Amino acid sequence: MLALLTQTKSASSRRNCPRPCLPRQTSAHSSTQLSTLSAALLPQSFVLMLALPMLSPGAWAAEEDSHVVPEVFVTGAREKRVLDPNLPASSERITAVQLQNLNVVNTEDALKYMPNMAIRKRFIGDENATISVRGNGTSQTARGLVYADGLLLSNFLGNTHSFPPRWSMVFPEDIAQVDVVYGPFSALYPGNSMGATVAITTKMPTKLEAMFKAQVFSQQFSLFGVDGRFDGNKSTAAIGNKVGDLSFLLGIDHLSNAGQPFVYASQPRSSQLATAAAVPVTGAYQYTDPNGAPATIFGVNAEGAERAVQDQFKFKAAYDITPTLQAGFTFGYWRQQVSNSTQTFLHDANGKPVYSGLVNIGGYQYNLPASFFAPAASESENQLYGLTLKTRHASGWNYSAIASYFDVSKSISRSAGSGLASNLGGVATYGDGSGWKTLDLAADYKPASVAAGSHWPTFGYHYDNYFLENTTYNLDNWRGNNGGSFNNAFAGKTETQALFAQDAWQLSQLWKLTYGLRYEDWRAYDGARATSAAAQRYDSRSLSYWSPKAALSYQATSDLTLRFSTGRAYRFPTVSELFQGSLTGSTLVNNDPNLKPESDLAKELSAEWSHFNGMLRMSLFEDDVKNTLFSQTNTTVFPNVTNIQNIDRVRSRGIELSYSGEDVFLRGLDLSASVGYTRSIILENSKNPATVGKNFYRIPLWRSNLVGSYRVNDQATVMLAGRYSGRQYNTLTNTDTNPATFGGTSSFLVFDTKLTFKPTRNTELGIGIDNLTDKRYYVYYPYPGRTFYVEAKVSL
């Protein structure tokens, strides 16, 4: 297994194309000896700022495990949510029982009603589904941690929607619970927890179990020249057992879906009178773009409508070596094939489709590039390997080790050069040979009884290594692997080693101090960029930082807890932020290998109250981030440069209210409600002063959710939910004044519903609708319209 965790596969064995012309870095790296720093991890002096308490419901926090993820004990169908007194931050939980009453197809759907959180999911099966929480937008994917049973699913090869968490390594029916921990207040997590940490805990069988589930879904979607039905289906099967000391689970999953068109070919409204060379056409649509300017839409372009086919295989095993020592193994495989179809709305006088060239629309002339309606396709294969070893003592010391390896064994994206059938040329981009490796070691101590002066210390070590290869070729046949010429390539690696220590100290019966310190040593190396005419290699660089954390809680009453938390967090640049830019001819431009890490000073004041048959939380929070990494235009130089840059200072402040209760007002009615207000403002930006004082990218002022589930009887449950997101901006200058259209990011209020019926103990039927009122709303792309779900499940 050690060989498995250290190997980096060569992409050359997986493709019939020339190797990229990347320079190789031959100098050896002298790694930092972190072991000499372990003594320095003893708590430093923390300045604890006390403030007036505010009421807030304590979300359903799980016990914080020694190896980074909350531990779960699934005991019954109606598991109560309990507040973990050692958790130094606000948290929320959703269980498998609750998920049964929601319209859930993909794993990320489990999060769509979480307080002050949003999921950017453009269609069912969207590979690029990302999360937004508090002051972190949907494109800041490196500001969120996602784990499944301690295995890291976060894709820190980049920091855009193209690098989402690998949700596909878990299928929803495998979930026992999902915990969300807000903010970077725990020393057990790296600085990528600036937004939130999502910890997925999956099930393991205690006896022979089997399950089969089938789902079909359909939406009627109309926008501009599109009016049609888009359908899909998904099926899942799993079997598991516990034989003696060995438990195992085997699962397969298949999804096929046609998403609605979400990218349209458009140009600004022309003011040039048509010449005789322009072909008169009909079918174009006139609209006002997000910036308030008139524009013309010609059809569905190359990103167009996606049809996704996905297959997943999962195997998990756990073996009890002794009653208190358990070893585990996980293997996940996920394959996806996507085809992007295009459509022109334009037709000439004979009814023949028009794809390119000079056209006459209403007496005005447009020049349509051939690439407007070029089709595209992609395919990928990924594997996840994981090993765990941990002890399970009721008290005293426990130890754990978790190792994982995520391998992008195939990643090919192809696009044609033209929408015309006669032109078969195009490009293909290969990303195989990329992936990441992680190792987490931890030791934690749990006292036999809780008393004044008790301590719960945790010590640990973390390692991760991300490696990225990306190569593009010009191809004579865009669907083939052979022929063509090298276009460009980039590659690079990042590595982080960390030591951390944290202690929960019961100062008295009423007061508890949780404090910690994290040391991180980061380096970037083997960075390279190349074209057919030039190549450039970047020097290695390394950075080291200390991140102190502290949380002071006060048990005001038996059901009311007040807590103030603060912490420093550093989010280091990803490989693509450092080494991927634009390429113009043989010139390497627009990437900055010297980007600074993001630095966040986070604070939270919360109150958690067990009342009204549930838990109520109120949280005031602030994130003061220096050197935010984001793509913007540097207007202080000529010519202007657009690339990933450091924005000097962005501050996010807000308040959250959340409630979750069972049997509220009447027996059988469960409610979950939340309201979040966030104001995220650019305070300093030396490279683009016009953005100072403006709202940050895609952070709505208001978010709110309301979910009600009513158990009619033991067999039937009815769910009704509402999701609201307020005004947000798609530009740093806040010039998008017309957000409720294609290209904009609109506010929305949508409703979802579902009826779940269990004819017998082992069967379950579901009928649901998302976006009940068929609201048309946008995240640049249009979100899905009214979507119907029908599902059936049989289990042993």
- Range of lowest pLDDT (49-53, 110-114, 153-157): 49-53
DSSP per residue over 196-257, as a string?
A: EEEEEEE---SS-EEEEEEEEEEEEEEETTEEEEEEEEEEEEEEEEEETTEEEEEEEEEEEE
Q: What pTM, to 2 d.p., does this model score?
A: 0.89
Q: Which segment, 397-406, 448-457, 590-599, is predicted with the most confidence on average?
A: 397-406
Distance of CA 778 to the CA centre of its chain: 18
CA distance 570 to 184: 9
Helix %, strand %, coil % of the chain (to 5): 5, 55, 40
Average pLDDT over residues 538-562: 96
Q: Please, which pLDDT band fits residue 86 given cuts at 50, 70 and 90?
A: confident
3-state secondary structure of 167: helix
Domains annotated for the chain, with CATH where assigned, are 43-251+307-328+375-471+482-498+508-795 (2.40.170.20)
* Dihedral sign from CA coordinates of 445, 448, 452, 453: negative
Q: Please classify residue 440 by burial: count the beta carbons closer than 10 Å to its beta carbon, then call 0-12 exposed, 13-18 middle and 19+ buried.
A: buried
Q: Is 418 exposed, middle or buried (0-12, 13-18, 19+ CB in 10 A)?
A: buried
Strand partners, 535: 530
CA dihedral angle for residue 666, residue 669, residue 670, residue 671, rounded to 10 degrees = -80
The answer to whether 722 and 112 are in contact (CB under 8 A) is no
d(CA 420, CA 285): 22
Give mean pLDDT, residues 466-491: 86
Residues paired with residue 287 on neighbouring β-strands, in sequence order: 295
Neighbours of 61 (CB within 10 A): 25
**Pick from 43-47, 179-183, 221-225: least confident:** 43-47
Supply φ then ψ for residue 171, to 5 degrees: -100, 145
For range 8-15, the mean pLDDT? 40
Q: d(Cα 517, Cα 667) in Å, to the nearest integer?
A: 46
Which two three-digit tokens encode residue 456?
Answer: 């719960």
Mean of the pLDDT values across residues 646-656?
98
The pLDDT, as a whole number, for residue 41 is 32
Question: What count of other Cβ atoms lies within 10 Å of the Cβ of residue 256?
Answer: 17
pLDDT of residue 72: 36
pLDDT tens digits, 365-415: 999 998 888 888 999 999 999 999 999 999 999 999 999 999 999 999 998
Kindly report the average pLDDT of the chain as a whole number.
Answer: 88
Q: How do residues 227-277 score in pLDDT, each as one tens digit?
A: 999 999 999 999 999 999 999 999 999 999 999 998 999 999 999 999 999
What value does the mean pLDDT take over residues 326-346?
95
Query: What SS3 class is residue 115?
Result: coil
Instruction: Read off the pLDDT band of 740 (50, 70, 90).
Output: very high
Average pLDDT over every residue of 427-434: 92
Window from 37-41, 358-362, 467-471, 626-630 with minimum mean pLDDT? 37-41
Q: What is the pLDDT of residue 10?
A: 40
Residue 744 or 481, more confident: 744
Q: What is the pLDDT of residue 581?
A: 65
Let me know: does 299 contact 360? Beta carbons within 8 Å. Answer: no
Identify whether the C-beta of residue 543 lies closer than 8 Å to the C-beta of residue 550: no
What residues contact residue 37 under an 8 Å CB cut-off, 6+ apart?
Answer: 499, 519
Residues in the chain: 796
Q: At residue 67, does pLDDT exceed 60?
A: no
Which residue, chain included where needed, has tokens 């300045």? 47
Rg of the chain over CA atoms, in angstroms? 27
| Per-residue DSSP letter, 745 | B
Higher pLDDT pick, 305 / 609? 609
Q: Which residue has the higher pLDDT, 243 or 533?
A: 243
Residue 26 has pLDDT above 50, yes or no: no
Please give the DSSP secondary-structure letter assigned to residue 402.
E
User: CB neighbours of 721 closer than 8 A, spacing ≥ 6?
Assistant: 102, 113, 705, 706, 707, 708, 751, 752, 753
Q: State how far the alpha carbon of 741 is from the alpha carbons of 139, 262, 323, 738, in Å.
A: 19, 11, 60, 7
In the predicted model, is pLDDT for residue 63 greater than 80?
no
Residue 756 corresponds to which tokens in the numbers above? Answer: 């779940």
Largest CA-CA distance found in the chain, in angstroms, rounded? 90
User: What pLDDT was estimated at residue 85?
Assistant: 63
Closest Cα partner for 129 from 158, 106, 99?
Answer: 106
Work out the burial of residue 95: count CB atoms within 10 Å of its CB; fewer than 13 is exposed, 13-18 middle, 19 or more buried: buried
Maximum average pLDDT range among 7-16, 56-65, 506-515, 524-533? 506-515
The answer on pLDDT for 639 being more than 50 is: yes
Count CA atoms closer than 13 A to 493's CA, side-chain side: 17
pLDDT at residue 54, as a whole number: 28
Whether the per-residue pLDDT at 46 is higher than 90: the answer is: no
Query: 360 pairs with which residues across the strands?
Result: 280, 365
Beta-bridge mates of residue 268: 295
Give the span between the Cα atoms of 728 and 739, in whole angstroms: 8
Per-residue tokens: 692: 């100072």
Cα end-to-end distance, the chain, whole Å: 34
Question: Rounded CA gap, 569 and 653, in Å?
Answer: 17
Quick: pLDDT tens for 213-235.
Answer: 999 999 999 999 899 999 999 99
Is there a contact between 266 and 293 (Cβ–Cβ < 8 Å)? no
Query: Minimal CA–CA distance to 411: which of 589, 155, 121?
Result: 155
d(CA 228, CA 230): 7
CA distances from 714 to 533, 668, 777, 780, 784 (A): 70, 10, 37, 43, 33
How far is 770 from 721, CA to CA, in rounded Å? 9
Q: How does pLDDT run across 276-325, given as a tens digit for each residue?
A: 999 999 999 999 999 999 999 999 987 778 999 999 999 999 999 999 99
Distances (CA, A) of 348 to 371, 389, 714: 19, 68, 62
CA 326, CA 109: separation in Å to the nearest integer? 31
Q: What is d(CA 504, CA 64) in angstroms, rounded to the nearest whole number?
A: 11
* % of the chain residues with pLDDT over 70: 87
